[in-house]
Amino acid sequence: MTLEALLQNPNALPTAPRVVEELISSFEKAEVSVDDIARTLSLDPVLSAKLLRLANSAYYHVSRRIGNVEDAIRMLGFVTVRTLVISSGLVGGFKTVPGLDLKRFWRYSMNTAVAAKWIARKVGLNTDLAFTIGMMHAIGQLVMHTGLPAEAQELDKAVDCFQPARLAAEHAAFGYDYSEVGAELALRWKFPDVFPDTMRGFPQPLAGAPLSRMAAVVHLAVWRAAADELKLDAAQRAASVPVAVAAALGLGPQELLDDMPGLADLSAGLEEMIH
């Protein structure tokens, strides 16, 4: 099946909740009516409830209880609320996916997101953008497993979804990989260019000129989250650091190995997002 045919398959694509579509379109607007967004979000009881649980979680350490969407926006800021709602909406868009353990997949995606946020802060990039792209960088995996269930599950037997070799294996089998599928999905959902560009570029961030610093951040975050999923020991982790990509961002291996907190610590309190 071609990439175009996959993306034309109505069964393969999730539907984004209306509020998520509105929040995506807000990236392009110079001015956003926070009241309008709050009203729209309040009409989606599932996402509203999840947002309030997240806003009151240990992750945000807020000083008083957040009781409604307007309070959440006031205390956390519109950009953070947008990040949480888009991420939660994406999680909710896929109920079951043939052959994939969704809880594991979203845990890995969340770990990528918090690692990307930490690295972005370290190198002076937009942390909310890094988090959101990290959260959705592998969404093409879900589309492929939904639209090509037999073929994707056959490939799973040979190369685990979290193995670095997965992208090349998909390319050999299909002529495209999950990074390209995810980038095309981001284009169709009208995300800003930085989303599809980063999602397409993160597997080989040093291949293009000039360097996409966000793609390099996500590449390092993917390495870090996959190392946890694959249960690499300290020696294996040290041997697998993408040294050249880190150097391109001005980072040394030890900063990624020693300075970065454990992913369970970075994501503590965000578990609501993936349930």
Q: Exposed/middle/buried for 209, CB within 10 Å: 0-12, 13-18, 19+? A: exposed
Cβ contacts of residue 101 below 8 Å, gap of 6+? none
pTM of the predicted model as reported, rounded to 2 decimal places? 0.90
Q: Which amino acid is at 211?
A: L
For the domain that residue 115 is a member of, what is the CATH number? Answer: 1.10.3210.10
Model confidence at 38, pLDDT cuts 50, 70, 90, reads confident
- Express each pLDDT in 179-198 by its tens digit: 999 999 999 888 889 999 99
Residue 53's nearest CA partner among 35, 72, 36 is 72
Full residue range of the structural domain in which residue 28 is found = 3-274
SS3 242: coil
SS3 271: helix
Peptide bond into 210 cis (omega under 30): yes
Give the pLDDT score at 17. 74
Residue bearing tokens 């800003």: 192
- Contact (Cβ atoms closer than 8 angstroms) between residue 87 and residue 130: no
Cβ contacts of residue 111 below 8 Å, gap of 6+? 224, 225, 228, 229, 263, 266, 267
- Express each pLDDT in 134-158 by its tens digit: 999 999 999 999 999 999 999 999 9
Number of domains in the chain: 1
